[in-house]
Structure 1
């Protein structure tokens, strides 16, 4: 379910966090689903438990997962997506960079718009 790209410029914890969010948004992980323990996921991905703990802390802070002592960690029953201006600013910066790359590859505004719409459609639940 999770894949780490060691050649990526993104930190491992960011890769896992994004993938977890993706699986939740796409419905692959549903409210109430159990997710692996910190140790199990770290072992499966061959990374340190501290990295997985950082992912879980971030996802818990965002209300995407919840840990029930003695039972495990689960996808939250009710996920409230909240606007985050800081994250929005970072995403805009990344999006501008991606659009610039596409323009340099010869893509038109219509091509980019179509690409974004198709990617968004792929992620719809």
Structure 2
């Protein structure tokens, strides 16, 4: 599992960790039941405080992405397929919103953006 922590980000380190793990779960890179690194192990690998990694895991558990079993570790929780689809759609919606805002700033029309999207969609 590869997590990158940026000290120059405005986002707190625990959120950077939890968001990256969430992303891996949503994308299917981490599977249901898969064991996550221990809190201490992850803290050591990232060279950060154990308290920070503990908070990231607590956030993930609160949101239902992971389950922690005392003495056994933390594991990717069973995911509701519809919920994962909704989360993926939300991510796409947020990215499209950024594109729409940037397009309006540049004075591009809906028609121009639609043409670009159509071309890109057909190429991929």
- TM norm structure 1: 0.69
Q: Which residue of 1 aligns with 2:21?
A: 20
1:97 Cα offset (Å): 6.7
Q: Using CA pairs under 8 Å that are at least 6 residues apart, name the structure with larger relative contact order, 1 or 2.
A: 1
Higher helix fraction (1 or 2): 2
1:101 Cα offset (Å): 4.9
Residues 1-125 of structure 1 mapped to structure 2, 5 A cutoff: 1-79=2-80, 81=83, 100-101=101-102, 103-104=104-105, 106=106, 108=108, 109=110, 110=113, 114=117
Gaps of at least 5 residues in structure 2 are: none
Partner Cα separation in structure 2 for residue 78 and residue 56 of structure 1? 16
Partner Cα separation in structure 1 for residue 30 and residue 72 of structure 2? 18
Q: CA RMSD in A?
A: 3.5
Task: State the structure with more CA Rg.
Answer: 2
- TM norm structure 2: 0.69
1:96 Cα offset (Å): 6.1
